Amino acid sequence: MPTYSDDEDPNPEPGETSMGSEVEVIHGETIDVRINHKKEVPKIKTELNVSLELMGSAQPGYDNRRLGVDVVVILDVSSSMSCNQRRQCLNTSMEFLISKLCPTDRMSVVKLS
């Protein structure tokens, strides 16, 4: 029988791929912690890749704007990347990268075939 902690939803939505919580770090300051994964956790010992994103608040009055960055991405679309799992990893990585870009950032994509 599964055991759930009281901050965990015992009935997650179908296809749900993330869980998050708020953690106190220093002097009452908190950060949001979110773990994202694309697979169900297997019941046997195995490796499982997850991304961990920590979001914290800046001190009051802190200017958190940054200069734009130039990003060049080389995408391997050759036959060696034809495996669905590799393509899915590429898609997931690109979605993550794009979600982190700011309006002042520039990104170039180079196709390697």
pLDDT digits (tens, 9 = 90+) for 15-46: 444 555 655 555 666 666 666 665 566 677 77
Domain boundaries, the chain: 14-56, 68-113
Share of the chain above pLDDT 90, in %: 10
Q: What is the pLDDT of residue 29?
A: 65
Q: Report the pLDDT value the prediction gives residue 25, as an integer from 0 to 100.
A: 58
Q: Long-range contacts for 2-9 (Cβ within 8 Å, ≥24 apart)? A: none
